[in-house]
Amino acid sequence: MFSGRLSSAPTQNDINCVSPNWFQWSDQPAQGRFDGENGNYGLVKENDEPWELLTQRMTKVNGEIEAIYRGKV
């Protein structure tokens, strides 16, 4: 699982970054998709269960982003 740090660290102080995005909603199947790729890119697991640490951190950062850009955080 990705650390919550990854959702903000590279972009939070970059004034050139308007909006980072996430690759996809859910993880790829463990057995792989049609081409065998089975990455853990999702905000939720295959069963739609959220990756708690990741989604909590992204929610926190999203709520603070305006203050971060204004230099108040």
3-class SS of residue 42: strand
Query: Mean pLDDT of all residues in the chain?
Result: 77
Instruction: Provide the whole-model pTM.
Output: 0.59
Residues ≥6 apart with Cβ < 8 Å to 15: 69
10-20, pLDDT tens digit by residue? Answer: 566 665 555 56
Residue 10: domain span = 4-69
- Provide the pLDDT for residue 48: 93
CA distance 31 to 46: 11
Q: Which CA distances in Å does 17 have to 37, 38, 46, 47? A: 29, 28, 30, 32
Structure tokens at 42: 């999702």
- Provide the pLDDT for residue 3: 46
54-72, pLDDT tens digit by residue? Answer: 889 888 888 888 887 788 7
For the chain, the domain total comes to 1
